[in-house]
Structures are given as structure tokens and as C-alpha cells.
A and B are shown apart, each in its own frame.
Chain A
Amino acid sequence: MTDIHIDPERYELTEPARYVFDLPEVDRRQFLRIFSVLGGGLVVAASMRASAPLYAGDEQAPQDASEVQAWIHIDERGQVTAFTGKVEIGQNIRTSLSQVVADELRAPLASIAFVMGDTDLTPFDQGTFGSRTTPAMAPLVARAAATAREMLIDRAAAAWQVDRATLRAADGRIAGAGGRSAAYGELTKGQRLAGRVTASPAERKGWVLRGTAVKKIDGRGVVTGRHTFTPDVTRPDLMAGCIARPPAYGAKPRAVDDSRARVMPGVTVVRDGDLIGVVAANERLARQALVALQIDWSPAPAQPSSKTVFDHLKRTAAEGTAGGGRGGRGGAPRVAGDVVRARAEAARVFEASYRIPYIAHVPLEPRTAVAEWTDGRVTVWTGTQRPFGVRTEVANAFGLAEDRVRVIVPDFGSGYGGKHTGEQAIEAARLARAAGRPVKVVYGRDEEFSWGYCRPAGVIDIAAGVDRDGRLTFWEFDNYNSGASGLPTPYAIPNQRQAFRASDSPLRQGSYRGLAATANHYAREMHMDAIARALEVDPVTFRLTHLENARMRAVLEAAAKHSGWPKSSAAGRGLGIACGTEKGSYVATAAEVSKTADGFHVDRLVVVFECGAVVNPDGLHNQVEGAVVQGLGGALFEAVEFADGKILNGTMARYRVPRFKDMPPIEIVLLDRPDLPSAGAGETPIVCVAPAIGTAVRAFGPVDQALPIRLL
């Protein structure tokens, strides 16, 4: 599996209908499976290592670089099918990846189809998170498509006995001198051609479809209601299942009386270890049966509330800095220079402690799974960002080999980092096994709030000092539990100590859009602004004085220019600004706010974003805008309230998410850098929304060192 620069077996291209490629056994089996599913034609496989030089300078190297990550098949009619384990959740990669394939293959966009997130059909993938698709997967499929194109040229050159340099690919055909041409399907007819990537993708200047605002594939299916989301999946004899949930975290069933539920027509009560559930012909019958179950629950153990959680997180954090908290992960602190000495010598020291609440992802499509058992194998349709991770979870839950589990992920109603796990898949599979029929489980909104997971809460303590000239000399940053991403300061400060400590979390917590980078940027940028104000230095100038990175300077300067810094666009408004970088892209956000009777109102946002070369400008604009809107929620009102093991605001009415009336005018400026590799864009634009607003609100008085933003 390590020899990845194998040439396509060119000498075989003239010899039709034979499996002959000198590939490792695993690859051979994969190729044969593709041919068996899709018929003959041409297949190119691509692995991460082959595209390694094209990474956008990130630190997250793939764990197993030799694995095949994507493949492309061209059938005998010229239909192109590309396979990736990534999933489509609204970030529009089905479209942007299709643009890449069409461009490199010189084939019409309409001839490209993507099979995504199906563990039986697509290559292994760690998951759709971390803004990895565009920087890592897109270059990979680009190389696979370019290689397929070159193989087709080779095939035509051999068939026509001409020099390949006289041939060109366009519109799904290879054309040569004298008007001779053949469609891709004609060239692959009767063939079983296989190869691994060898060709390089086009430079930015060679892009045709990439860089243009191609419309979302199957936008028509979305607006007509035809698109199949996870809750819309149906199977023959499908039943609906519901799970009995404890009234509070830690409560256990002491006694169960299911006699009333059991006699309801068509109802199956399932008792399987700790799981109590019901299965019925449809969901409303299942919900009725659930209500008929009489369960005596034990009292919930004492546990922190949303009011006491911050003390709890600091108290339970790992002592020292290298180890983890109870059940959590910690990391070695990042240290430079001598902070103790710098602190002793500082002219002024600024300290603050910022509190970050738990927040909920609230995807409109709740956790959903359909499970079906056949001959000891289980197939699960579910909305998850980690199809292969969920396959492992299901296999482990039932003691099955992974090849006995198939996870299929429809293009689903989004996740924002909140759907990395497979509890709903396991629940549906347990109910289906007990009922002997396929079962669908759709979480209610209350279940989604209480039994999904949250963006971690945390406390971030910062101490920073300046010398007599107002230059930062030291920076101490202690993050308790909210997470390590986006933690290192981008500012040039000689003495630094920055650490993340995991704590004991009373709520189930996990990934989120931008994850901890949002919290870390909030604390850092609020603190930079506070220091600048205290020193009576312009906050933009103060940042630029400490910024060396040219890309970061560029977005900050552009945001200052577009917002009209330092003057707000209307009298009486506060203007704030923040900048940051995460996952290889750069953002600066400016916010204008005005005073209201009960606080403040956001009147305008200016967002400057730079993520290297832009693949689909309209899709990118949409992602940036969406991230900014999501950021507004966390900045202004989102916080999960809980006490005694219960979520107190777990409804759409009580947990406020951004709505139409919360929208300020949002001006988005995209800095296209065709000279740079494309970085991911779905997350980073969220990170500066809260600090831009928080610093703007300081025009009206001191601001609480907490999210959501409140005037004291």
C-alpha cells in the first residue's frame, strides 16, 4: 500500500477487457468492486500522499497517508462517478468537488456524479470536519481526474497510432487532427482500465469551472421537497422506534411496568440492557406507547448547574499542564521566553477571566437513523459527519466485524460539528434487531437538546503585560475545558505561556463549528482591545504593531478600510474590530452597534475573509455569511441552561437561535489569492463575530467577561 506513484499500465491500454494492473492486493479488490458495481470503463484511485505537496500548510497530516481516499470511474457511456467518504451537509462540496472533476477531466458538469459517505462504496475517510475537504480532498480528486484525462489521451493515441501530443481533451471527448474525435465512453468501452494518480492538476490560471459560481447540484430537489433527507428515508416494512429517556442525567430505571404498552396493537416493547424502547407502525403510535410505559427512575445524582459550572470546570481541571482532567485530554503548554521574569518587569499588567457557556448546535434535522438487518449484517442510514466512525461504533456495539456494517449517509440537514457520533444509529439497530423489522428513530427536539452534545463550556484566564513603550512583553493564556484550537496567539510577544486543560464536564460535549477557536479568539481579541483602550492606543494600530503575518495584516487592514475605521458609519454607534486565523484561513470582522433600552443592537457587520484561491465564489460567500450568522447566536444569546441534570431551555422557543429579525446588514469581502492553495472556509469566519461585537459594545460601558455579550 505504500507504493503510490505507480504509473497507469499504459501498455495494457491497447489490450481490452482484462484486469491487469500492477497494484497492491487491497487496491485490486477495491477496483474489482467498483467494476462489479459500475461495470467496465476506467478507474483512477487517489491517495493522500500523492497530493501531499498540495496541502495548504496545515498541521493535520492524514493518519494513514497510504490509504486510497478517492476514486473516479468513467463508464462506457462517458458517465463519470467519483467516490469520496466526505458528506454533504450544506457546505456545498458535492458541487465544488464536481467542479474540480469536470474541470480537470474536461467533461460537462452534468456528466459528473459523486457517491459520498457510503462505507460499502466509498474509500475510508476520517470524517467531514476541520475544514478539510477543500484543502485536502479537492486536490486529490483533481489529480485523479487529471490522471484519468491523460489515460484517455493515451488510449486514443494508441488506438489511432498517433502522437499523444497532437490530441486534446474537451467536452468529454478526445479530439485529434483532421476532425477525428471520440467520446470518453467510446474509449473506455469494453475496457477495465485502472491507474493511480500520476498527473498534476491545473494551475489556478488553467481553471475554467473552478473559480466560478456554479449553482448547487440538485437545488431543484431542495426547493421542490424531492430531496431525501435522513428522516425521509424509507424501507419496505419500516417501523418507527422511540427510546425512553431518563428525566435527568444519571437517573436509572428502578422498575418498569410495560403491561399497558405491550397490549397496544402492533407495539413491540424492547428491553435490551440499559435501553428501553418501543417500536410501532408509525411514530405517533410509538410515542403513544412510550407514554404508556410506567418507569420508576432513580433520583439523579447531584451535579453542577449552568450557574456553578465555571467554578466546577476550574476546580476539576488537571493540575499541572501536561496531563488531562478527569476523562479529558490536556496538552503540554506552549512556552516561549520567561513569563515570570517578564511579568515582574512589566510596566503594566492586564488580567481577566472569560467565561464561555455550553451552546447547542441545533441542526434543524434532528439525529435520525434507519436500521435494517439482513443475514447478520446491518445497514444504517444516518446523518453523520463521520460515516466510518459510526460504522466502528455500530460494529463495536454488536460485536460485529466492520464489514458486517454498512453506513449510508444521505445529504442531510446539517451538523455544524454536532453529528460526529452514532448513538441514534446504535439505538435504531438495537430496536430493529429486537423487532425483526427495519426501524427508524427520529429524535424529538427535546431529545436533540438533551441527548446530543454541546460545544464545551470553559474558562479562559489571561494575563498580559506591556513595557513602558506599550509593547506586549508577556502573554499567559489558560484555557480550562473549552478547547485548544485557535489557542496560540498570532501576535509577536517574546514571553508566552499558553495552556489548555481539560476538565470534568457535567454535560456531554464535543465538536462545534470552529470549536474552541471561537472561544479563544473571543478572549484574546477582547483582551487585546482592553489593553489598547487602557493604553489609549488605537486598537487596530495596537494589533498591527504586534502582527508580523502578512495575510493577517491584510485582512485586518481591509476590514478597517471597509468599515471606515475608526469612525462608525452613523453617529452614536460603537465600532469594534477583531482578527484571527484558524485552519489556514484568515478573517477580520468589524461590528457597529447602537445602544438600546435593554442593551445594544448590532447594526452592521463587515467581514473580510481570505482562504487562498477561491473555488466557488458564491458558495464561499454563502459559507462565510452562514458562519457569521451562526456566530451571532453565540455572541448575542445562545447558552444552554441546566440544573439537576436537566436542560432547562431545550426547546426552540426557549433556546434562541438567530432569526430574520436578528440580521444586521452583513458586508462580505473575499480576498482571492490565486497564488495560494485553497484552505477550507466553513468554520473560520465564525471566530471574530463575538469579539468584534463585544469590543464595539465597550463604547457604551464595561462589558461582562463572558459570552453571550452583556453590558455590565
Chain B
Amino acid sequence: MPQFDLRVNGRTHRVTAEAGDSLLAVVRDDLGLTGSKFGCGEGHCGACTVLVDGGALRSCTARVGAVAGKAIVTIEGLAAGDRLHPVQEAFVEAEAFQCGYCTPGMVMAAVALLDQHPEPTDADIARVLDRNVCRCGTYPRIVKAIKAAATEMRRRT
């Protein structure tokens, strides 16, 4: 079976996989990084969202062969040690979750969103996060958290 070098959270991992294996399966099963979640396997719920070269990607439909060598960040790689990313902090502060299963993907999608839209409107958030589902229905709180994080990130820069 072929081998690929995956750069995940700043470390390079050599994995044995088929080129067509999903990034999510490899990250969870081979690297033991279970923060990214399986929700639908079709790229429509966003629970598996990771960053690849800074952009949000559905890791359940991304193929290992297509992302080898690229900079992959999963939810485990977002905080700097004990210091949470502003988006993570804002989610905690706004209590922008219930069961929390969508949260890792939601946080990663929000980080990518804020990279493109430092001052997002409600419409920006609704459009960009259209494929991130929170079945518990905490959307209003997530919007609030993302806006709070945006404010904090602008303050810091």
C-alpha cells in the first residue's frame, strides 16, 4: 500500500493508506486525532472540518492523496499550548454548543471564515457556514461567538 507524508498540526506523519482514503479516517484512526468528527461522510454537515493551507476543508470527502504535503490543522492543533484560540474562547464564553459534537468542525470553519472575513456580517456567516450543521440548534449563539471572536482578533492585531 502507498505511503503519504501528512503535515498535521506542524508535525509530519508517514501514513500507509490508499490515495483515495478519506483524510478524516486517516486522521482519526491512524493518527489518533479524534477531535474531528464523522457526521455524514458526504461533506454536508461540517463536523469533520479541518484547515488545509488555511482554508476550511471537509476531511470526510478530502482524499489523503490530494492533501499530502499540505499544511493541515485539526482542532487539536488550534490552541497554543494551554492558550485557546480566540474562536475557542468565544465559543466557551457564549456557550455556543449543547452536545458539542459539531463544535470542532464549527470552530475550524469559523477560523477559516474569519481569515477571509475579519468583520463578518450575519449573511457572511450564514453563507460560508452553510454546510456546518448544529442539530442542537445553537446557531444564534455560534453567530454571537464568531462576532465576539472577530472583535477580539481585530483588537489583538
Contacts and interface: CB of A to CB of B under 8 A. Distances in A.
B88 A365 contact: no
Interface residues of B, number: 56
A364 B37 contact: yes
B139 A660 contact: yes
Interface string B104-147: 10010000000000000000011101101111111111110000
B136 A90 contact: yes
Secondary structure dominating the interface of B: loop
B95 A224 contact: no
B103 interface: yes
Nearest to A225: B35
B95 A283 contact: no
A625, A626, A657 interface centre (most CB from chain B within 10 Å): A626
A413 B25 contact: no
B126 A663 contact: yes
Contacts of B4: none
B88 to A, nearest CB: 4
A216 B136 CA distance: 15
A431 interface: no
B41 A445 contact: yes
Interface string A622-634: 1101111110000
Contact of B40 (A227, A445, A661): A445
B51 interface: no
A224 B35 contact: yes
Contact of B36 (A225, A363, A622): A225
B40 A652 contact: yes
A364 B138 contact: no
Contacts of A625: 137-138, 140-141
A223 B39 contact: no
A229 interface: yes
B41 A627 contact: no
B98 A283 contact: no
B117 to A, nearest CB: 14
B22 A284 contact: yes
Contacts of A231: 34, 37-38
Contacts of B84: 220, 223-224
B99 A89 contact: yes
Interface residues of A, number: 56
A92 interface: yes
A24 to B, nearest CB: 38
Given A364-B101, A626-B98, A652-B40, A220 B92 contact: yes
A366 B101 CA distance: 10
A282 interface: yes
B143 A362 contact: no
Contacts of A366: 38-39
Interface in A211-226: 215-216, 219-220, 222-226
A364 B95 contact: no
Interface in A647-692: 651-653, 657-661, 663, 666
Interface of B: 18, 21-22, 25, 29-30, 32-42, 44-45, 47, 74-76, 78-79, 84, 88, 91-92, 95, 97-104, 107, 125-127, 129-130, 132-143
25 contacts: A90-B97, A215-B92, A219-B100, A223-B91, A223-B92, A223-B97, A223-B103, A225-B36, A231-B37, A231-B38, A232-B34, A363-B99, A364-B39, A365-B37, A365-B101, A413-B99, A629-B137, A652-B45, A657-B133, A658-B137, A659-B133, A660-B126, A660-B130, A660-B132, A666-B140
Given A652-B44, A666-B140, 15 more contacts: A224-B79, A225-B75, A232-B34, A234-B32, A364-B39, A364-B45, A364-B47, A365-B101, A412-B99, A622-B138, A625-B137, A651-B40, A651-B42, A657-B135, A659-B130
